[in-house]
Amino acid sequence: MKLLQDVALSMLDLVAVREGASVSDALAVALRTARHVEGLGFTRYWLAEHHNMPGIASSATAVLVGHIAGGTQRIRVGSGGIMLPNHAPLVVAEAFGTLAALYPGRIDLGLGRAPGTDPATMRALRRDRVETEEDFPRDVAELQRLLGPVQPGQRLIAMPGADSQVPIWLLGSSLFSAQLAAERGLPYAFASHFAPRMLMPALDLYRSQFRPSAQWRQPHAVVGVPLVAAPTDAEAEYLASSNYQRVLGIVRGERSRLPPPVDGFMASLGPAEQAAIRNFLAMAVIGGPDTVRRGLSDIVQATGADELMLVCDTFDPDMRLRALSIAAEQWRLGAEASA
């Protein structure tokens, strides 16, 4: 049985833009949240790259990583992730090499294989570049070279970036990145906060094929967990209706800002829409303190996760901070009970 005290708690922020609020408000909430979870003892705070989405303000991910790192003291800050098809590896290496020079020992570089947007926006980001299945492994290898020690005769040097040893993580929601992370001896984060279906096969593949590297002697698996915590199950379910509305919009192809909660929202939907939301949020932990403690513990025992990456959005930012405090306290109590 995995002991909770051996498992880290971290956070992934989509930097949601709320209805009636501005992008500036969303960025302020992100910094406030990062400072809050740093005080709670979280290990890392990651930011996700998305484009052409009116409800998400983290498109310039490297810029935002610097902003959050500059406003905190100890917590690791990074990308969850940089969508590598959108960027030249040299540009990524220089950006994160600069961040590592500004905030030594605190920067993570999580890499994703998807574009994080629609096809039209992808074309706008990389113009006429045509992706192939071989591109992502090749680009990851190039980033490893650019962020590693300069080799004799090396002509292309990232400055800053060379010899910065910024930790590279691979992210994914399928078996592809799990296998690549295993082959390269890299840590792996599964996007179960929105695509939980292949979680267990991906973790099994990653662990069974992991090859130790100079940076990681053992596999390190991170599991994404949507979280809404409140003093009671009923209030948590009410607050979670903001997320239910957002997920329903994604299912329908309608992107919008994070809406306020609606009482009885799920009950107002048909069975097919309810099922779509439940499947999307199959790894979610939503409830009062006891429910949260059991839910987080059950996920660790089921997955053997080395780290949980919480994704917590509520319409009221104060309720978000409260939810994260509840989760941290219940995590502490669960760890003490399992010791």
Q: How many helices (H) and strands (E) does the chain have?
A: 11, 9
pTM exceeding 0.85: yes
Low-confidence stretches of the chain (pLDDT < 50) are none
> Residue 168 belongs to a domain with what CATH number?
3.20.20.30
Separation CA 180–CA 111 (nearest Å): 12
What residues make up the domain containing 169? Answer: 4-338
Residue 5: per-residue pLDDT: 87
Give the residue among 139, 148, 160 at the shortest CA–CA distance from 81: 139
| Number of domain units in the chain | 1
Q: CA torsion, points 172, 177, 179, 183, in degrees to nearest 10?
A: -130
Q: Are 97 and 162 in contact (CB under 8 A)?
A: yes
Write the CB contacts of 17 (distance below 8 Å, at least 6 apart in sequence). 23, 25, 26, 54, 55, 56, 57, 257, 258
β-pair type (221-229, 8-13) = unpaired
Tell me the β-bridge partners of 92.
none
Extract the tokens encoding 228.
């809404």
Residue 124: per-residue pLDDT: 65
Residue 128: per-residue pLDDT: 61
**What is the distance between the terminal CA atoms of the chain, rounded to a whole angstrom?**
11
Quote the DSSP letter at residue 232.
S
